[in-house]
Amino acid sequence: MTHPGTGELMARAAAAGVAIPGFNIPYLPMVGPVVRALRDREAFGLVMVARLEWEKFASHSPEAVAGEYRRFASPRHTRLHLDHVPVIDEDDRRVDFLAIIRRALDAGYESVMVDGSRLPLAENIACTREVVDLAHAAGIPVEAELGAVMGHEAGPLPPYEELFASGKGFTDPEEARRFVEATGVDWLSVAIGNIHGAISAAAKGQKKVAARLDLDHLERIHRGVGIPLVLHGGTGIRKDCVMAAIRQGIAKINVATAIRQPYEQAIARGVAAAQEAVYQAMLAVIDDDLELAGSAAILNP
């Protein structure tokens, strides 16, 4: 049986007004309970790893996550996605991003993301275009980012309300239109008030800031680009904002802190206890936060 690719599934999600959640894997034992929860709730989602999760946590490598994923993969319920591969990372270091993308394609990832959001627009376009050309040649869709989704930088963030009121880092709708047209990217991660969970050792266990979204700004971006949009930093955003954003073009929502922190809090009791904590956190996200139980029947019948 031939299963639809991730690009087709994202198109279906956008057309149906349903979000595909992506779940980050900073620790390899999280893969099993993430897939089990999606399967048990007849939900569809992506298993994802970002570069920082093998650099700063314990997912080891994109190949290690791909190998663990293959042990549990459920084609009706899951696909494998390479999350944030930055061109400039959170420590202001230049990254050999094309080499990482090639490794992911060789390892069987079914979609990839390049993050040039710390670059000037023209350079972001150029780097994203390189990834699009490489991945599309292999039949793999590409996600990119425009605007600055804050939270992974060193040091404390400014007060959230100050960030929101200023629109600092928000994706510019006209730049988004030009970016999508120039790169041929398949999906776009946007900054509209969302923030990432902190990853520094001092802050990663703290409760995430309750964020909200500028839905009017999202609507302007969506009208201009005509492709599925992605919301990073999904944990902690007000539910009414999230559900409204799905109706206005968000087709993928990244979830990390909501399942990472339960694992970290429970691991002292052993891996089995940490995996159960992830499973229960997954059920809460699927059932309560995103209301996605049964979404596999809509997206991948």
Q: Is residue 39 part of a domain?
A: yes
Burial 233-259 (b: 16+ CB within 10 A, else e): bbbbbeeebbeebbebbbbbbbbbbbb
The answer to the question of residue 26 being in a domain is: yes
Q: Which residue has the tokens 């605007």?
A: 147
158 falls in which pLDDT band (50, 70, 90)?
A: low
Using DSSP's 3-state secondary structure scheme, residue 147 falls into coil
In 97-173, where do the E strands start and end?
111-115, 142-146
Position 299 in a domain: no
Work out how many domains the chain is built from and give that number.
1
Q: Examine residue 263 and state whether it is found in any structural domain, yes or no.
A: yes
* 190 lies in some domain: yes
In a domain, 288, yes or no: yes
pLDDT value of position 297? 95
Percent of the chain with pLDDT over 90: 77
Averaged pLDDT of the chain: 90
Specify if 300 maps to a domain: no
Q: Which residue range forms the structural domain that includes residue 189?
A: 6-294
Q: Is 215 exposed, middle or buried (0-12, 13-18, 19+ CB in 10 A)?
A: middle
Q: What is the pLDDT of residue 98?
A: 98
Q: What are 209-256's pLDDT values in tens digits?
A: 556 688 889 999 999 999 999 998 877 788 888 999 999 999 999 999
Domain assignment present for 154: yes
Residue 201 has pLDDT above 50, yes or no: no
- SS3 for 253? strand
Residue 172 designated active-site: no
Residue tagged active-site, from 83, 186, 214, 289 = 83
Residue 166 scores a pLDDT above 80 = no
Who's near 217: CB < 8 A, 6+ residues apart? 167, 170, 171, 173, 192
Which CA distances in Å does 12 have to 229, 254, 295, 300? Answer: 13, 18, 11, 9
Q: What is the CATH number of the domain that holds 249?
A: 3.20.20.70
Per-residue pLDDT tens for 132-148?
999 999 999 999 999 87
- Sign of the Cα torsion 148, 149, 154, 157 reads positive
Label residue 116 by pLDDT band (50, 70, 90): very high
